[in-house]
């Protein structure tokens, strides 16, 4: 799929690429919008993963070292029952880091090509893909109060798919406006 290829290689906005097509890559409040010759628009949203793999290992190693030293000191002072609880704490932190790392590569991608709108989601290892007719798709933006607790959904033929689970309220609102601009028959 062209969108994946474009995201893997950094291209300068508006400059020709090797395949002589003009590409445009724009960021709107954390939402990556890519336009290329073959695809009218590709919007990708990913979770914010600010800690690298080596950073995670360093944080875990530091945590385990501090916890082990602290538990060892208390065990030598006679409070040996602390050791199993320290082990359980290490296991809980390790499981939390594992759960977060399982969802590092999650994404939501909306691709508009001709009269087809494709919604693709990755959740852990499962990839879900839905296709909609661009002419019939509608964007639904619901906020409980002005700009807060917003919900964005894509509606077509009575079915509704919620969008923007990796985005904050401001980014969801921007996503809804960008999609409204791009939907409708061409």
Average pLDDT, the chain: 81
Q: CA nearest 166: which of 155, 152, 183?
A: 152
Separation of alpha carbons 137 and 134, rounded Å = 5
pLDDT tens for 7-50 read 322 333 443 344 434 445 555 555 677 766 667 888 888 888 88
93-99: Cβ within 8 A, 24+ apart: 93/60, 93/63, 94/60, 97/56, 97/60
Residue 109 pLDDT grade (very low, low, confident, very high; cuts 50, 70, 90): very high
């Amino acid at each position: 799929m062209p969108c994946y290829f474009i995201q893997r290689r950094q291209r300068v906005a508006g400059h020709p690429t090797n395949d002589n097509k003009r590409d445009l890559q724009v960021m709107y409040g954390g939402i990556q919008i890519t336009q290329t010759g073959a695809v009218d628009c590709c919007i990708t949203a990913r979770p914010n993963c600010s800690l690298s793999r080596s950073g995670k290992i360093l944080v875990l190693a530091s945590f385990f070292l501090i916890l082990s030293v602290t538990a060892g000191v208390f065990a030598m002072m006679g409070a040996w029952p602390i050791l199993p609880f320290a082990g359980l704490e290490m296991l809980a932190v390790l499981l939390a880091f594992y759960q977060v790392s399982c969802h590092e590569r999650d994404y939501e991608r909306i691709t508009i090509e001709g009269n087809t709108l494709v919604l693709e989601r990755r959740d852990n290892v499962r990839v879900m893909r839905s296709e909609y007719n661009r002419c019939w798709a509608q964007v639904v933006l619901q906020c409980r109060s002005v700009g807060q607790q917003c919900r964005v959904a894509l509606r077509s033929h009575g079915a509704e798919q919620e969008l923007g689970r990796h985005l904050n309220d401001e980014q969801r609102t921007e996503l809804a406006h960008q999609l409204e601009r791009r939907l409708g028959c061409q």
